[in-house]
Amino acid sequence: MKDDNYADLSLFSALIEGIKPLRQDTHHFKQPVKAKQQFEIKEQQIHADSYFSDTYQPLLPVDGPMRWINTNTDKHELKRLRRGDYSPDLLLDLHGMRQAEAKLELAALIQACVKQNTICCCVMHGYGMGILKQQTPMWLAQHPNVKAFHQAPKEWGGDAALLVLIDIGEQPHRR
Kindly list the distances between the CA atom of residue 20 and the CA atoms of 14, 16, 17, 23, in Å, as whole numbers in the listed order.
14, 9, 9, 9
Please state the domain extents for the chain.
35-166
- What DSSP letter does each residue of 97-156 carry, written as one string? --HHHHHHHHHHHHHHHHHTT--EEEEE--STTSHHHHHHHHHHHH-TTEEEEEEPPGGG
Structure confidence by residue, pLDDT tens digits, 9-35 = 888 888 888 888 877 777 666 766 667
- With pLDDT > 90 as the criterion, what percentage of the chain qualifies? 42
The whole-model pTM stands at 0.69
What confidence category does residue 171 fall into, taking pLDDT thresholds of 50, 70 and 90?
Answer: low
Query: Is residue 169 very low, low, confident or very high in pLDDT (cuts 50, 70, 90)?
Result: confident
Nearest-angstrom CA–CA distance, 148 and 142: 11
CA-to-CA separations, 22 to 18, 26, 40, 52, in angstroms, rounded: 13, 11, 39, 54
Q: Is the pLDDT of residue 110 over 90?
A: yes
3-state SS assignment for residue 82: helix
Could you give the strand order of the β-sheet that contains 161-166, starting from the edge strand earlier in sequence? 67-69, 146-151, 161-166, 120-124, 90-93
Q: What is the pLDDT of residue 88?
A: 94
Q: 58: how many CB neighbours lie within 10 A of its CB?
A: 11
Instruction: Tell me the average pLDDT across 132-154.
Output: 93
Query: Residue 172 — very low, low, confident or very high, per pLDDT cuts 50/70/90?
Result: low
**What are 43-102's pLDDT values in tens digits?**
777 766 677 777 788 888 888 899 999 999 999 999 999 898 999 999 999 998 988 889
Q: Identity (one letter) of the amino acid at 138?
A: M
What class does CATH assign to 35-166? alpha beta
| Higher-pLDDT residue of 169, 118 | 118
The arithmetic mean of pLDDT across residues 153-174, rounded, is 84
**In the prediction, which pLDDT does 137 show?**
93
Distance from the first to the final alpha carbon of the chain: 85
Count other C-beta atoms under 10 Å from residue 104's C-beta. 19
State percent of the chain over pLDDT 70.
90
DSSP 4: H
pLDDT over 60 (residue 1): no
Query: What is the Cα–Cα distance from 122 to 91, expressed in whole angstroms?
Result: 5
pLDDT at 161: 94
